[in-house]
Amino acid sequence: MKRTIAIVACAAAMLLAGKANAQLGFNIGYAPVTLSTATTIGNTTTSSSSEMDGFFAGVTYNNVLSGNLGVAVGLQGRYNTKTSTGSANFVVVSGNDKSTTTQILLDVPVLFNYSLPLGGSARLSAFVGPTFSYAVYGNTHVTSTTTLLGASSTTETDYPMYGDNSANNRLDITAAFGLQFQYSDFRLFGGYRMSLTDLNTNDNIKTTSSGLFVGLGLNL
């Protein structure tokens, strides 16, 4: 929780420290995430991956540094989820179990951008930079159904993704890059992000995140 407060405070300070020609905007979008895990036992490494749907909403404050060069600092919330049968994120389930994984994160993107006028109110920008993400909440809910002598019983269990007994890191740092098209105060953007950190604390397991993202924005 202290890290969450620090991230929010840092983002708020940067958002309020802009120049007079800075621009505030609101963003919403879709950002699915792929979690890639490599497990090494002896000389053997096995790889696996899992996908989650992701949705985000937040604010961005773009400061003009010089000419067409700027830096956009944001604060956004992101919601990741996956529902499946016979597979799960972060826990082992049997073939008939139904699992729902939910994850809530706070993101602080710091994106350097360079824009080119296209004529009129249209502009095209390229952006690149890091995003600092902190997982506020994560849980996998598993529903198990057992049938014995024609009678079925259901058991529901929650597996927290973070905490004292978890090997998952809450903090993730990703590198993001992409393009943005702006017409008047409306923006359409998309790009790709990839993790720079290991999301697992075990020495023989490495987990990273990656994924495309697309979104819409409105400048005030």
CA distance 168 to 199: 6
**pLDDT recorded at residue 179:** 97
- Residue 5 pLDDT > 70, yes or no? no
**Mean pLDDT, to the nearest integer, of 166-180?**
94
Confidence of residue 119 (pLDDT cuts 50, 70, 90): confident
**pLDDT recorded at residue 16:** 47
CA distance 33 to 195: 10
* pTM reported for the whole predicted model: 0.81
**Mean pLDDT, to the nearest integer, of 54-70?**
92
Q: How many structural domains does the chain have?
A: 1
Residue 161 structural domain: 2-219
CA distance 208 to 49: 10
Confidence of residue 18 (pLDDT cuts 50, 70, 90): very low
For position 85, which CATH number holds? 2.40.160.20
CA distance 212 to 197: 18
Confidence of residue 178 (pLDDT cuts 50, 70, 90): very high
In 10 A of CB 125, how many CB atoms?
20
- Residue 113 pLDDT > 90, yes or no? yes
**Mean pLDDT, to the nearest integer, of 100-104?**
93
